[in-house]
Chain A
Amino acid sequence: MGVENILFIVALAVGIGLFARQVRRIARNVRLGRDEDRSDRKAERWGVMARVALGQGKMVVRPVAGIMHILIYVGFVLINLEVLEIIIDGIFGTHRVLSFLGGFYDLMIAVFEWLALGVVVACVVFLARRLVIRIPRFKGREMTSWPKRDAVYILLIELVLMGALLKMNAVDQLLQERGAEHFVKAGSFPVSSWLTPFFAGMDTGTLLVLERVYWWAHILGILAFLNYLPISKHFHIILAFPNTWYSKLEPRTQVRNMPRITEEVKLMMDPSADPYATPAEGDGAPPERFGARDVQDLSWKSLLDAYTCTECGRCTSECPANLTGKLLSPRKIMMDTRDRLEEVGRNIDANNGTFQDDGKALLGDYISEEELWACTTCNACTQACPVNIDPVAIIMDMRRNLVMEESRPRPALTTMLTNVENNGAPWQFAQSDRMKWTEE
């Protein structure tokens, strides 16, 4: 085993090890949320995941972006098979170890090359949509400098990776033709052969070095990209799968129940209940606060949603509140939740594993009341989201906190709530007048 193989194994171990650490950090953060059982109806869940994540079923609602995205997605998934070969070659110092597959191998490499070209085209189109055409969906209050740069970086990294792959193949091909040592004849190179003229004039020694450079650039690029994912919206390429598996399966407009309140209301309504009995408090822990003031009060699924968000803005572009100039943007709700969760996570890391109050909260410091009260719960956002994120769950949880903990609904809502409480209707009509319409 040569030095190069050892270097490769070290690089691979470090790259994967660092990535695993980041994944553990994110998993820990997601678990800061409240429990919610989302493990029922498993067969249905696999179906949703297959349709929405694997099959990209909701992407094609917008055909241009959808088809381009599928190209990049399929390209990446399949080209990863070649990465597998690169890893084996790297460890054992082999050259194109899968080439024993013969004609099938040639076909495989040819398909990968066409896909790589497709990825390049799609990335260029996507960059143009963001930087030249400036599609409105990619703008907005929450699309500050970092999210915008993040999107561009991802596309550029993909271009660099595809470039390295194609150039590596171009040089490899020349070396094969020249019968260089180790370079067994394998693969067919329909796209990279266009690049060979650039390298044809170089001597074999230079090509051997270049081949190694591109090979290393490709694999190191992939390892670096892997470690970029967890700090980027690009992490959705992984989280889209669990996130869709744990999708809300109930009808969109069904609001999650609060069983603890059911208990209390039942006690209140029960004439035989002892009015002075203090409700059992479990292990003496302070009762959970109603609704959500900070990220720890949200369901873990809302937190997973936040990490999964692709910042695509499909939700916001269909949100009636946002379309009519209100402050609310469901994408911002998700990004705020993630940013606050990251902040809470860093706080925990800095304080030996326990959260120290930093005087901040998701409600107020990130998301304002004005945003929360602008929502019509129309669920255009959940319908539009390509990875089944539910911003309305967060909005509802925070409204609950505003009303039940802070007693701060919008003034007109106080009137409505009083009416419902006193006369069983949102307006000031007596319940005894409910049949009046039959008399007119």
Chain B
Amino acid sequence: MTTRVPTMSELTASGETPEVLFWVGCAGSFDDRARKITKAFVKLMHHAGVKFAVLGTEESCTGDPARRAGNEFLFQMQALQNIQVLNGYGVRRIVTACPHCFNTIRNEYPELGGSYEVLHHSQFLNTLLREGRLKVEGGSFRGKRITFHDPCYLGRGNGEYEAPRELLSKLDAELVEMKRSRAQGLCCGAGGAQMFKEAEPGDREVNIARSEEALGTAPAVIAAGCPFCNTMMTDGVKHFEKEGEVAVKDLAELIAEAADL
């Protein structure tokens, strides 16, 4: 099945401007699991009639992992190239399903000449729901226990704790909080370029500790808002051999499923 997704260059060629640019991100483009999130989010946007576009092959890594791994040169090369492309198209508004892309473009690009309104997909989806462009009725999640794992780069990093919870509340599910949540939420272990390296020696992996805590709430679903958290939690659930009972799903996937898309 192919998904129809307009690119910025196509739209520009036909003299149109989208209301928002969807920044897919590297995980969203290449990682098998994260591509499902990308597609769920695209379905929602199509369904809501959002006029959006992607950069497609003109998109490149934001530079987040390079900067956090200490290579500031590489980060700035990535950033300046991306800013050139974004500014070239006159992009104003960006939405992304990745809190790392969100943080970098929102906070770290302005100093390098790229200022945009940047939204996490949970914030954007909330707007669509509030404006009535998207409708969700609990659906298959009604009454189920769902626990939300705060991504560090969305929550503590950028102070957004409510948008994901507001979205989840639309599912009529039973939202259960982990002992450590919101500002006290425990990291999944992927940030700071850890995703791309072996963990340093220790007693256990961070994602195992976090998954154990999440499983402690006896959830049917662990909701994630970041492709990297998603991978970490999925691995953790597998470690405890609970993948049969507990699903790890992105916010966009949950909403898309509830909306029967």
Contact = CB atoms under 8 A, between A and B. Distances in A.
Contacts of B38: 437
A420 B153 CA distance: 21
B18 interface: no
Interface string B52-78: 001011011101011111111110111
Contact of A404 (B7, B70, B206): B70
A404 B69 CA distance: 10
A436 B81 CA distance: 22
A269 B74 contact: no
Contacts of A436: 29
Interface string A381-408: 0010000000000001001111110000
Nearest to A250: B107
B202 A396 contact: no
A373 B29 contact: no
Interface stretch (A3-11, A203-211, A319-327): A319-327
A378 B191 CA distance: 7
Interface stretch (A66-74, A98-106, A252-260, A296-304): A252-260
Given A320-B186, A325-B204, A433-B30, A254 B107 contact: yes
B237 interface: no
Contacts, number: 222
A416 B196 contact: yes
A417 B192 contact: no
Nearest to B29: A434
Interface string A260-280: 011011101100000000000
Nearest to B31: A427
B192 A327 contact: no
A290 to B, nearest CB: 7
B103 A253 contact: yes
A318 B185 CA distance: 9
A421 B74 contact: yes
Which residue, of B29, B61, B71, B194, has the highest number of chain A Cβ atoms within 10 A? B71
- How many chain A residues sit at the interface, stated as a range, is 35 or more
Indicate the member of A326, A377, A429, A439 with the most B CB atoms within 10 Å: A377
B156 A378 contact: yes
A17 B191 CA distance: 48
A413 interface: yes
Contact of B69 (A269, A323, A374, A409): A409
B209 interface: yes
26 contacts: A251-B157, A251-B159, A254-B103, A254-B157, A257-B111, A262-B76, A262-B80, A320-B186, A320-B189, A324-B189, A324-B202, A324-B203, A327-B200, A373-B200, A374-B200, A376-B190, A376-B206, A377-B152, A378-B191, A380-B186, A399-B69, A401-B70, A403-B69, A413-B69, A417-B69, A433-B30
Given A258-B76, A377-B68, 9 more contacts: A262-B80, A324-B204, A399-B69, A400-B70, A404-B72, A416-B197, A420-B63, A425-B61, A433-B30
Interface of B: 1-5, 7, 24, 26, 28-31, 35, 38-39, 54, 56-57, 59-61, 63, 65-74, 76-78, 80-81, 84, 103, 106-108, 111-112, 152-153, 156-159, 183-184, 186-187, 189-206, 208-210
